[in-house]
Amino acid sequence: MSRPPDQPCDPIGWSATIALVFLALCLLRIAIPSGPYFDEIHYLPAARALIEGSEYLNREHPLLGKEIVALGMALFGDNPWGWRLFSALAGAGALFAGMRALWFASLSRFAVVAYGVLLASGFALFVHSRIAMLDVFFVAFLALALWQCAAAAREPETGRRRLALAGVALGLSMAAKWNAVPLAVVPGLAFLAARLAAGRRRLLTSRRGIPVPGVSLLEAALWLGLVPLAVYWLTFLPAYGFDKGALEPGGFIELHRQIIALQESVVEPHPYQSRWPEWIFNLRAIWYLYEPVDEAQRGILLIGNPLTMLLGLPAMVWAIWRGIGGDRAALAVAVLYVVSLGFWMVVNKPVQFYYHYFLPSCFLLAALALALDELRQRGWRRLTTATLLASVALFAWFYPILSAAPLAGEQSFAFWMWLDGWR
C-alpha cells in the first residue's frame, strides 16, 4: 500500500504565541508619550468630534479608523490608553492574520514562524501598533481578508463563509484608509483569472474548478465586490449625524470628490517626504517623536529593519521567478507587493512618506520568509536561523528609539543614525 500523503502540522499555536508576545511588547510603555504626537494631532480631535457628534473633521480620510479610536476613548477614557489600545490590538491581529494567510498559502510551518518573527521585528508594524493612526487598522483588516481568501482556496468546504468574511474585511480595510483600495480588488480579479484559466464553459455560473470549488463567479462577485462596497458605505453612517458639516443625503459621491481633492491638495514640501526608490532601499526615515517629554529625552523613529528590508529585495525577485514558474504562494506575495508599491508610483499624491511603504514591506517580508524556507529545505539551516536571530537582534538594538524609551540626552539619536537620511 502507498503511504498516506504528509499532513503538515498547523503552527497556529506558534502564531498565537508570537502575536501575544508582540502585543505585550506593544503595551509596554504605550502611554508614553502622555500627550498626542505626530499625526495623532489630526485623528484625536476627529475622534472626539465623533463621540460628541459635533463636527465632521479630518474629511480627507474615511471614518472607520477614527471610529475605532473614538471607541477606545469611549471605553477607556480620553487618555493615551484609550487613544492607542485598539492600535496595539490591531497590530497583534494583523500579525496573527498575516501568519495564518501565509500558512494557508504555503502549508510551511517554518515559513509561517519565520514570517511572524520577521514581521514582528520589522519595525513598521511595531511603531504603528503604538500610535493612534489609521494605517494599522487598514493593514489588519486587509490581512484578515487575505487569510480568509487563502483559507477558502485551501478548504473549499468553508469557502462560502470565508469569502463572505473576506468581503466584509475588505470593506472595513478600505473604510479605514484608502491605501487598501488597490489591494481590495485583487482577490476578485484573482478569482476571475483562475476561472478564465480553468476554461469553464459556463463562466459566470459554473461552480467547478479553482480557486474555490462550489462557488460560482457570480457569487464571488457578490462576496468580493458588492459586500465590500456595502460595508464601506455603512461605516459612513455617523457622518450623517454631525451638528456641523454633516453628510447630506445623496452627497456620498460628492464627499469622495472632496476627499480626492484634499488628498491632491497637499503640495507644500515636507522635510520628511520621500519617494518609492528611497523606501525600497530604506534610505529615508521619519521621526514621529524626538523631544523632551515625560521627564526624559525620547524618540520614536519609523524606519525599516536595516537587515530584512534589504534581504527582502532579492527574496522578492526570487518570489517573482518562482511565481512565474507556478508557485502560487510566491506568486500571490509578488503580485500583492507589486500592486501595493506600484500604486504609489502612479498615484497623484505630490507629497509622500515612508509610512506608505508599510503595507508593501509586509509582503516583502513574506517573500523573505518563503525564500528562507526554500534555503532551509536545501540544507542551509544555520543561515536561516541566523537571519531570524539577526532580525530580532537589530530590533532590540533600535528598540529605545522605536518605543520612546528614555535616552541619555539631546544628541543620543546619533548612536543609531547609520545613514544621513535617517536623521
Q: What is the pLDDT of residue 169?
A: 98
Q: What is the pLDDT of residue 6?
A: 57
Under 8 Å between Cβ of 350 and 380: no
Residues 6+ apart with CB under 8 A from 1: none
Examine residue 37 and state whether it is found in any structural domain, yes or no. yes
Residues of the chain scoring pLDDT < 70: 1-7, 200, 266-267
Examine residue 35 and state whether it is found in any structural domain, yes or no. yes
Domain count, the chain: 1
Examine residue 403 and state whether it is found in any structural domain, yes or no. yes
Q: What is the pLDDT of residue 4?
A: 47
Q: What is the pLDDT of residue 249?
A: 84
What is the rounded CA–CA span in Å between residue 386 and residue 125? 22
Say what the pTM is: 0.94
What is the rounded CA–CA span in Å between residue 345 and residue 365? 20
Segments forming the whole domain that contains residue 406 = 12-267+280-422
Examine residue 272 and state whether it is found in any structural domain, yes or no. no
Under 8 Å between Cβ of 190 and 244: no
pLDDT digits (tens, 9 = 90+) for 226-252: 999 999 999 999 999 898 988 888 888
Q: What is the pLDDT of residue 7?
A: 60
Examine residue 24 and state whether it is found in any structural domain, yes or no. yes
Q: What is the pLDDT of residue 198?
A: 75
Examine residue 336 and state whether it is found in any structural domain, yes or no. yes
Which residue in the block uniquely carries the three cell numbers 462560502?
160
Under 8 Å between Cβ of 103 and 368: no
Q: Give the total residue count for the chain.
A: 423
What is the rounded CA–CA span in Å between residue 240 and residue 237? 6
Q: What is the pLDDT of residue 200?
A: 66
Examine residue 186 and state whether it is found in any structural domain, yes or no. yes
Examine residue 137 and state whether it is found in any structural domain, yes or no. yes
- CA angle (263, 269, 270) in 5-degree steps: 90
